């Protein structure tokens, strides 16, 4: 298993390098990072423009600029930002810290709901619960992420207005001023996470629950499950020990493949609820044509996706011993 993990890591490194190079080339050729400076009226002196060009390494060839950025990573240097007061390394990790708590909590909630609803729907196929779960699954699946987030935000505003109090937080990832100690700060953070987490989790859970239901139905109809039932084992024991473990393998695969989509959903969710996380950092970097900030965002996001896919591959061996022994 260790050798398999090391092989996957070595294969992921070239993928990571190629992805950063492609984004660097596309971002560098799409716009001029100094356009905001050149468009000023009155225009700044030529010396100022040349100074910024030199600071951003725009006076160097494209490949040399990429190589300078790539080698700088080993020194912890993520490159200069268009805003000279911004440290990209500190900013990107702060922003991703805000976003990861949303993604992790939303994924956990979506997985729990998907497993419970998928298993119960498969065990009670064509029951009222199955039809109801199918209806709501397709309902959430058909909702655009931004539209559902806006609906939840408006619902929160309506509840606050009706109660004449702050019941649900609809703006920001945390309050500016919080009176109290650690517990008060933690409660404030969790309160701001309620609506964004529900928005991201339900739109994600919908597809996962359908995969879990289909996988569970396939396993329940297999020969070894029928044999276990014929031996007189209790139904819950057969479902939990023999069926559920194998039925989780396809869900593990689709969860790993959906990491990129979840990151995209987090960008939309953060924009609607006005979080200062990785999503708004990405949009601001695109708007400003901040190439090095885009590269930093891609590097951290791609590393996150690769690590979670590696964890999913290792979970195959935990769920199915035959894979581990092979």
Q: What is the pLDDT of residues 21-38, one digit of tens each?
A: 888 888 888 878 888 788
For 188-197, the pLDDT digits (tens) are: 889 999 999 9
**DSSP symbol at 176:** S
**What pTM was computed for the model?**
0.84
Mean pLDDT confidence for 235-251: 82
What's the angle, vertex CA 124, arms to CA 118 and CA 129, rounded to 5? 75
pLDDT over 70 at 206, yes or no: yes
Q: Which residues contact 140 (CB under 8 A, 6 or more apart)?
A: 148, 202, 203, 205, 206
Cβ atoms of 80 and 59 within 8 Å: the answer is no
Handedness of CA 121, 124, 129, 132 (dihedral sign): positive
Fold classified for 91-325: MetI-like fold (1.10.3720)
pLDDT over 60 at 326, yes or no: no
- Tokens representing 125 are 């196929």
- Tokens representing 164 are 């004449």
pLDDT of residue 2: 67
Mean pLDDT confidence for 162-180: 85
Spans of all domains in the chain: 17-77, 91-325
User: CA-CA distance, 169 to 244, in Å (whole number)?
Assistant: 37
User: CA-CA distance, 153 to 196, in Å (whole number)?
Assistant: 9
pLDDT of residue 224: 80
For 266-304, the pLDDT digits (tens) are: 888 999 999 989 988 998 888 888 889 988 998 888 888
Cβ atoms of 99 and 266 within 8 Å: the answer is yes
Instruction: State the CB neighbour count (10 A cutoff) for residue 189.
Output: 16
Q: What are phi and psi of 259, to 5 degrees?
A: -60, -45
Cβ atoms of 33 and 287 within 8 Å: the answer is no
User: CA-CA distance, 216 to 243, in Å (whole number)?
Assistant: 7
Q: In the chain, which ranges are continuous DSSP H helix?
A: 2-30, 35-38, 46-55, 62-72, 88-123, 128-142, 145-163, 182-220, 223-230, 235-237, 244-257, 259-273, 278-288, 291-319, 321-325
**DSSP symbol at 165:** S
Q: Which range is most confident: 3-12, 170-179, 219-228, 278-287?
A: 278-287
Write down the residue that tokens 């606050």 correspond to.
160
């Amino acid at each position: 298993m260790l050798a398999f993990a090391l092989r996957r890591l070595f294969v992921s490194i070239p993928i990571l390098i190629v992805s950063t190079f492609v984004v660097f080339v596309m971002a560098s050729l799409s716009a001029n990072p100094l356009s905001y400076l050149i468009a000023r009226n009155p225009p700044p002196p030529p010396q100022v423009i040349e100074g910024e060009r030199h600071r951003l390494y725009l006076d160097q060839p494209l490949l040399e600029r990429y190589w300078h950025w790539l080698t700088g990573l080993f020194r912890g240097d993520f490159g200069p930002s268009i805003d000279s007061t911004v440290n990209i390394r500190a900013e990107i990790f702060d922003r991703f810290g805000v976003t990861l708590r949303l993604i992790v909590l939303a994924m956990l909630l979506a997985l729990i709901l998907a497993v419970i609803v998928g298993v119960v729907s498969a065990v009670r196929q064509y029951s009222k619960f199955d039809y109801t779960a199918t209806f709501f699954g397709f309902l959430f699946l058909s909702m655009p992420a931004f539209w559902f987030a806006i609906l939840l935000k408006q619902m929160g505003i309506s509840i606050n207005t009706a109660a004449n109090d702050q019941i649900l937080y609809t703006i920001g990832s945390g309050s500016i001023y919080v009176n109290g100690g650690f517990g008060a700060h933690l409660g404030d953070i969790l309160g701001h996470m309620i609506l964004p987490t529900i928005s991201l989790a339900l739109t994600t859970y919908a597809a996962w629950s359908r995969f879990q239901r289909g996988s569970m139905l396939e396993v329940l109809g297999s020969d070894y499950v029928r044999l276990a039932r014929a031996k007189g084992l209790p139904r819950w024991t057969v479902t939990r020990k023999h069926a559920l473990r194998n039925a989780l393998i396809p869900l593990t695969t689709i969860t790993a493949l959906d990491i990129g989509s979840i990151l995209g959903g987090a960008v939309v969710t953060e924009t609607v609820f006005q979080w200062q996380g990785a999503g708004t950092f990405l949009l601001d970097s695109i708007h400003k044509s901040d190439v090095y900030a885009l590269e930093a965002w891609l590097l951290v996001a791609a590393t996150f996706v690769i690590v979670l896919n590696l964890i999913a591959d290792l979970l195959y061996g935990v769920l199915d011993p035959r894979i581990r022994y092979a």
